[in-house]
Chains A and B, each alone.
Chain A
Amino acid sequence: MGLLNLALGQLLGVFLPLAGLLVALYFYDRSRRRVLVSTLRFWPKRPAPAVRQRHKRIQHPLSLLLQLVALSLLLLAIADPRPDVAGAAARQRVVLLDTSAAAALAGGSGSPLIAEAKALALAYLDSIPSADRVLLIEADGAPSVQVPFTLDRQRLREAILSAEPGWTALDLGAAFELAAGTLRLALDAGGERLPDRSGTSEVVYIGPGRFSGQPVRSGNSPQVRYLETSAPSDSLGLLAFRAIADTAEPGKWDVALVARNYGGDDSRFRVDFFFDEELLGHRELAVSAGQDSELRFTLRTKRPGRLVARSAEVDAFEGNNEAAIEIPRLRRTRLQVIGGSEQAFEPLLASGAHVDPSFVDSRDELADDAIHVWASGGEPGDSRRAIYLAPPGTASPIAAAGSVRDLPIDEWSASHPLARGVRDRDLMPRRARVFEVRDGDEIIAATSRGPVVLARTSGDRKLVAFGFDLAGESVRGQLAAPLLFANAVSWLDSGAFRSESVEARAPGAVEIAAPNSARKQISVRAGSGASVPWVLTEGSLRFYAGRRGTYRVTTADRDVTLFLSQPQISTLSWNPPEDVARGLPAPSASGGEPWLPWPWLASLAAAILLYDWIRFGRGRRLASEGFSLSDVGAGEASR
């Protein structure tokens, strides 16, 4: 027999002050109150009974005794005595319930493995002594404590029954580490290795044993038990499904599908592909046992839609039989050329497939969201984003200081995106204007007489001015001309030449190559818009997403949309060491529901208090000892 909530010293420390207070209140209740009255003529003239004179003494010792007994019983009920709590005999147990994606697979009986795991966990609870404290951890890619150490079996059962399989693979090593950490705290072992106290603690893993990540080390726990469910019977799973946009041909997507054969035999699967619920076709996929296989094809579409890959193979687990990605809207940069001919601009516009050019004659046709190309010869206007080709000396947003003839461009601003890849010192326009440089202007190219290519940024306005006509006969045929024009369009519209990809895959650790990206160019956001923490190491962007959802990743030159929807099921099976116990422990003699004496103690205390109130309550006490005023009233009436 032991006290669960209070030690004996604590119990006495609470009882003694309360008992003193009770005795003080008892005497106070029986002390006289002083009252000022108008007259005493209606009150008795005889002295108070002798028992009243010594009211400071205990008048009803049995009443006081009953109250003290009731108080002690109430405190004892709060202390919660348990017949089988005896300190060292109680054990700390950690239950690792596998809630990884593998737990959703069907077992041998056809029911999900999580159901088997729950039944084993409940059976384990029933087999251990009721005095043992149990901690419940739901083990998946990020193990977490669901119920801290408790004796409340009902709470544990409810938590076990409410557990659902997740979408990440089991990190069994992390689960054992977490279990060892909680045991260290429970056994007050600090950061030291767990003391070898045989029988004081146990870690129980319940699940199919499919894990990923680092090799499992369970040796830090004094005792490990493995309650194994039946082997999963899944045959095929779609691991990843991605589509990468072709930068050269708008509307062309390179699609890849990765499937895994969980079965024991080589097999061929048929996968159907749908685009916006319309069947595109199907492919046969040959996958070796326990291996992955990848299928590639090209999709051409200029409209957005939902691309779905669905396995025709029906197995027990449908969660990974389908993968879906959203093909985004085709993105093209709108370009409006004012005053130029299609023939002259053809060499320049051929450089970018993502450019949607149009030729207009009137300024009224200009759209605000387009890049305006003011061709040579006309009078340029003001635009938010514009390319000026050989603008006139006056009436131009970028003023010219003069002009040069047959002078080579011998200086390029290599660090500027506009001059990326251009090293041509032979680019020699027949005639070029030399610009005046203002504050904030960036010189992209210059001759010995002055700058001939300028970039200007002012608020949300971005202008590029070429002192020579890029579409002119003397320049457009040169190698650097299309590159310069493409650089200008790319600088004016940062998304014009970015690559784009969408991918459906499993939640968990995500790694994306970002070799040319600076930290400020990277952003990772969840579908809700919340920023997700990430790290950039050796050109690889890494972050962890433990839940299903959509994530958008932006690097210097890529936009990646991730649909983390595929369950992550590992093919690695845990082979526990020999010292790991298997199966349910032998039922304990004190197993099952413990007898809890505290309700009885509380009820007994209430009964005693009720008896005390009835037997010694104020009304009863005064009624039995009250005085009579009949003689006083009679005397008054006779007057």
Chain B
Amino acid sequence: MRAPAQLLSKETLERLERLTIRWRQSFQGRIGGDIVSRYAGVGHEFLDHRHFQQGDDMRAVNWRAYMRLERLFLKLFRSEPRIPVRILIDTSESMACGGEGPATAKFSYACRLAAALCYVGLVRLETIVLQPFSDTLAESFRAHGGRLRYAQAAKYLSGLETGGGTAFQRPVRDYLMKYRVPGLTFVLSDFLAHGGDELPMDHLADEGHEVHLLHLAGPADREPPWRGELELREAESDAVIRITLDDDSAGEYRDAYDQFCASLERRAARSRAKYLHLSTALPLEQALFRQLAEARINAGRAMEFGRA
């Protein structure tokens, strides 16, 4: 299954400009959290002047003051922390299931959600890494430099395809090896790994990553719409079972699925990760502006949660 060619509409992108990506924890070597930095550094916002000293960057000299006072002054700017934002996108075959059509498939939803998060980050001049994975890490895409780079990111996302099974141990190990600088990690997946493989959230947390689990589920994943004699084929392994499904047994299936979601949420809480269950039946804008905002993954207004 391929990602949809049109990910987000122009109106949705305009609305996304009001959002920003938040994080909670302090990162090693970075000014932490939402605290505005009082230190001078590389940035855009003017902070102060000081006398020029040997070895200072000549580009920061205030030449207007020199012409007037014949003394060299150096302009100081407010330091702006840069936290890398990385989005892990599950591209396994199970992501192609669960919907009532290609539009509500989990993979399409994940690509559109990743595009939205990418655009929000680009608007705030963040660096966004799009990292697909299934049973291994695929080639990633790094987007930075403002909203003008969104088109390239969208093109990259539109080119993604589902394939392979879901595994977490090896991809996470490779991920930690590849990205040693801790940052914000979004995992967009249905977390339905074959063979009981589970996401090692503890490893990510121990390496300093702030993890957000966005659990995507199609309508049929929780509420099977079929009844009667069924031959069920698993998308990733081609395993087959034959059953007879009625309302009562469908209810039992739903309970089992809910228990799985609850256990996933508990494990996330133990690993200081954030967990959010998203149904693909929910419109994407509602998920972005209501579900994610209520989970405090993004902020409703940039000014309110803006960073120095």
Contacts and interface: CB of A to CB of B under 8 A. Distances in A.
Interface in A609-626: 618-619, 622-623, 625-626
Contacts of A530: none
A37 B234 contact: yes
Interface of B: 94-95, 97-98, 106, 190, 192, 194, 196, 198, 218, 220-221, 224, 226-237, 239, 241-249, 252-253, 255-257, 259-260, 262-263
Contacts of A625: 244
Contacts of B248: 623, 626
B241 A619 contact: no
B246 A619 contact: yes
Nearest to A37: B232
Contacts of B252: 628-630, 632-633
Contacts of A48: 241-244
Given A35-B233, A38-B97, A622 B227 contact: yes
A629 B242 contact: no
The 10 lowest CB-CB distance pairs between A and B, nearest first, are A622-B246, A629-B252, A633-B256, A32-B229, A637-B259, A38-B94, A38-B97, A39-B192, A626-B246, A48-B242
Contacts of B260: 41-42, 636-637
B249 A629 contact: yes
Given A626-B246, A627-B244, A633-B256, A38 B230 contact: no
A520 interface: no
A34 B227 CA distance: 11
Give the contact-size bracket for chain A: 35 or more
A42 B263 CA distance: 14
Contacts of A425: none
Nearest to A51: B244
A33 B260 CA distance: 26
A36 B238 CA distance: 9
Contact of A35 (B226, B236, B253, B259): B226
A602 to B, nearest CB: 30
A35 B230 CA distance: 7
Contacts of A43: 232, 241, 243, 253
26 contacts: A32-B230, A33-B226, A33-B230, A34-B230, A35-B226, A35-B230, A37-B233, A38-B221, A38-B234, A41-B192, A42-B256, A43-B241, A43-B253, A47-B241, A52-B243, A618-B228, A619-B247, A622-B227, A623-B247, A626-B244, A628-B249, A633-B255, A636-B260, A637-B256, A637-B263, A639-B198
Contacts of B246: 619, 622-623, 626
Nearest to A629: B252
A378 to B, nearest CB: 93
B241 A38 contact: no
Given A38-B190, A38-B218, A33 B97 contact: no
Interface in A22-77: 29-45, 47-48, 52-53, 55
A632 B232 CA distance: 16
Which residue, of A30, A37, A44, has the highest number of chain B Cβ atoms within 10 A?
A37
A36 B244 contact: no
Contacts of A55: 229
A614 to B, nearest CB: 16
Contact of B255 (A618, A619, A627, A629): A629
Contacts of A29: 228
A40 B232 contact: yes
A629 B244 CA distance: 12
Nearest to A33: B230
B228 A636 contact: no
B229 A52 contact: yes
Contacts of A630: 252
Contacts of A37: 97-98, 220, 224, 232-235
A38 to B, nearest CB: 4
B241 A40 contact: yes
A52 B94 contact: no
B23 to A, nearest CB: 29
A47 B232 CA distance: 12
A629 B291 CA distance: 31
Contact of A33 (B190, B228, B259): B228
A40 B165 CA distance: 13
A619 B247 CA distance: 8
Contact of A40 (B239, B247, B259, B263): B239
Contacts of B230: 32-35
Contacts of A41: 192, 260
Nearest to B256: A633
A44 B256 contact: no
Nearest to A31: B229
B94 A35 contact: no
B225 to A, nearest CB: 9
A45 B241 contact: yes
Contact of B235 (A38, A622, A628): A38
Contacts of A632: 252, 256
B168 to A, nearest CB: 14
Nearest to A45: B241
